[in-house]
Structure 1
Amino acid sequence: MLVLLLVNSSYQAIFPFFHQLFTPLYFAAPACFFLYICHFIGPRKRLSRWEWLHFIPAAMAVMHVIPWPFSPAINWSAILAQIVENKQLFISEKSGLLPASLYYIGRPMLVLGYLLATWYVAFNSKLLKAKEKQIPGKKWILLFLKAATFFQLISFLPLLAGTQDRTFANSIFVVIGCVVLLAIVVFILHRPEIFYSYLFTPADGSAEEHVAKDFVSVSKAAVPLKEPLTLVPASKKVILLPDQSSAYASLMVSFMEKDQPFLLSDFQIIDLAGALNVPVHHCSFVINNVIDKNFRDWINGYRIQHFMVQYPLYAHKKTIEAVAHESGFKSLATFYNAFKKETGLMPKAYFSQKKVS
């Protein structure tokens, strides 16, 4: 996108630098796309020795763009004109050390080859027929696969038109691409849960359905942990080992009890992660699957406990609402809902019952 913007702007003088800078990425992207899908579907998390061979074209592209003393002169005006006409897929003018065919034949073949290989892997893994529970993140990976395939294939559209209609085809390409991109953005706004634990984690920690119940939880309430947590692995993939999950849970509970960050009404899971230097999605996973609550219920549990200790001490000079606010609740509605959820009663009824008992 940056190269296309430079081509159509008044900053064409810096176009050669960015074109050469991004050329190795053009050749690495198809392999990265293929390997990401393979490793998402499969159990392996690291590249094998042989899989590094996929990056040979990118290494060749690096050699291609280095300004060697013996490299031929480059006609950037001709390259710029060809990008305007054919976009970036086909450039028949020599742009570096290696023959021009590396770009106008090698890269399109690389794109199509890896697209076919990626879809073959997807079909062969039964990804399309599998249920969501069998492959966590199926919706995300299918959206990624389809969107990437669409935008790669549509780049060939101007080349399918004849020379007479090339300008019209380029315009159609831009319009179709923008419409599809807008549709994807609207879809993301309505279905953000597809991206939970892959691109982002919701601030309120409500991704428990999408991070997947990889362990059977053993803790129910926001109370001190008397013993280290032990986890029972389930049959799905895990994102944390049991010992690590237990350590994170103990660390989070200790932090909440000693520092009492829940007294801050704006305290979010991202603040918890920052204070403990723990990834946000790990905090979310532990709260959802070990403590067995979402972040909002968990932190409100601490606030209610603090309220129940403080209110009897200050009931003679402070209202329920004032103590609730000091306990970290931003709104009264949230406080009353949380109190009833924790105790089964409203505050006045709860403390009246306590007096009688």
Structure 2
Amino acid sequence: MLSVIFFARFGQIITSLLFKAGEPHALAFFHQTFTPFYYAAPACFYLYITGFLQDRKHLQKIEWLHFVPTLLAIIHVIPWHLPVTNDWNLVGTQLAQNGYFSLKAKTGLFPPYFHYIGRPLLVLGYLCATWITVMRLKNKPQQLLESEGRKWIIFFLRVATFFQLLGLVPIILRFLHIPYVNTYFIVMNCLALLLVLLYTLHKPYIFYGYLLVAVDWTKKPTSKQTTGIDPGLISLKTENQTRTPITAKKIKFLDAQLAGYAFAMKEIMEREQLYLVHDFQIIDLAAKLNLPIHHCSFVINKQIGKNFRDWINGYRIDYFLKQYPLKSDKITIEAIASEAGFKSQATFYNAFKKETGLMPTAYFAHELSH
């Protein structure tokens, strides 16, 4: 979803350069190539954010209907043999004067209003739908994001909303008969993008796990000690370093090595109850085992069959289920969840439902009935 949004933005930059440079043939090619992305981007924006908030990684069948405008855009740009040819010099002039949402020259099969009315309505409609969905989820504590995810999605939502609304400003000004210069809006876009880049350089961790690597590299290992680690594991590590070449793209382990690493991870996790630490990350586990982070991730995914977050949350849910009968009459569910290592209610509720298939109240009611 994000790639489609970025491609659409990239297409706008390319075509801006081309109509400013007076290259009608290149403008025709790139404008038609990127037009389907323009019509897909608003839907992708909505589906990415709603899917992220609801912790869904796949589209539901009915959600594919959001891409009907994209299909129409593809039909629109197919080079049909029509009696009237497109005037790309006029297209370039209108783009330079009035911007993308004001293009009234014919660019394909459908009438011009397919572009200058259809696109603004599509952008505004999906923008409103996205914000309505976000505001509704605020009233559901069990669906709130943990802090890292919340920071990322709020950052992305605000930045995307700003640029989309900025693109609609020329339409409003023209409707109000207020004179403006389109070049100024291009400069404003560039300055705004520069500010966003400066902000992300100042706080790069906001992209952790979403655009950058799935490892919290802002945290430094506390130590390189191997105290308490099975000597057999160290020999396995040494054997792997000498016999098995490790590359960034592919990791190869013998079955015995995978089993040895997985056993050591489980043993140290259970013995030291590392899952009770709120901010415990895979980088901390790697430091305790004196292993590369990508090796830890590979073993957890390949041998244990879960990603790191689901794996550690499984321990926390198990701890919670053991403690709840003992403490439920003294402290709240949320307090017990915090003791189990969850640093937010949202993470706890999502993890609990993922592990048991039910929310806590329904789960314990079901247990009591049996």
Same-fold call, TM cutoff 0.5 = yes
Q: Structure 2 matches for 1:10-159, cutoff 5 A?
A: 10-70=22-82, 72-126=84-138, 134=146, 136-159=148-171
Partner of 1:165: 179
Kindly indicate whether the alpha-carbon contact (under 8 Å) linking 1:201 and 1:207 is maintained by their aligned counterparts in 2.
Answer: no
Aligned residues: 249
Instruction: Give the SS at the match of 1:206.
Output: coil
Q: Structure 2 matches for 1:217-296, cutoff 5 A?
A: 223=229, 254=236, 257-260=239-242, 273-276=248-251, 288-289=281-282, 292-294=285-287
Q: Distance in 2 between matches of 1:295 and 1:15?
A: 56
Q: Deviations over 1:58-107 (max 9, x none)?
A: 00000011012246421222211110111111211221111211101011
Q: Distance in 1 between matches of 2:63 and 2:195?
A: 35
Which of 180, 205, 217 matches 1:206?
217
Kindly indicate whether the alpha-carbon contact (under 8 Å) linking 2:87 and 2:105 is maintained by their aligned counterparts in 1.
Answer: yes
CA RMSD of aligned residues (A): 3.8
Kindly indicate whether the alpha-carbon contact (under 8 Å) linking 2:101 and 2:171 is maintained by their aligned counterparts in 1.
Answer: no
The normalised TM-score by structure 2 is 0.58
Say which structure, 1 or 2, has more relative contact order (CA 8 Å, 6+ apart).
Answer: 2
Kindly indicate whether the alpha-carbon contact (under 8 Å) linking 1:34 and 1:114 is maintained by their aligned counterparts in 2.
Answer: yes
CA shift, 1:273, in A, is 3.7
Kindly indicate whether the alpha-carbon contact (under 8 Å) linking 1:41 and 1:135 is maintained by their aligned counterparts in 2.
Answer: no
Partner of 1:214: none
Q: Distance in 1 between matches of 2:54 and 2:172?
A: 36
Q: Which moved more, 1:87-96 or 1:141-150?
A: 87-96
Are residues 108 and 273 of structure 1, via their aligned partners in 2, closer, same or farther at CA, if it must alter by over 3 Å? same
Report sequence identity in percent. Answer: 35
Are residues 290 and 13 of structure 1, via their aligned partners in 2, closer, same or farther at CA, if it must alter by over 3 Å? closer
Gaps of 5+ in 2: 1-12, 221-225, 254-264, 266-279, 294-370
Q: Which one-letter code corresponds to 1:193 in the other structure?
A: Y
CA shift, 1:164, in A, is 6.9
Which is helix-richer, 1 or 2?
A: 2
Query: Larger C-alpha radius of gyration, 1 or 2?
Result: 1
Q: Deviations over 1:162-188 (max 9, x none)?
A: 567232xx2332232222211111111
Q: Distance in 1 between matches of 2:82 and 2:24?
A: 25
Q: Which one-letter code corresponds to 2:183 in the other structure?
A: S
Gaps of 5+ in 1: 210-219, 228-249, 262-266, 279-285, 301-357
Q: Distance in 1 between matches of 2:126 and 2:20?
A: 30
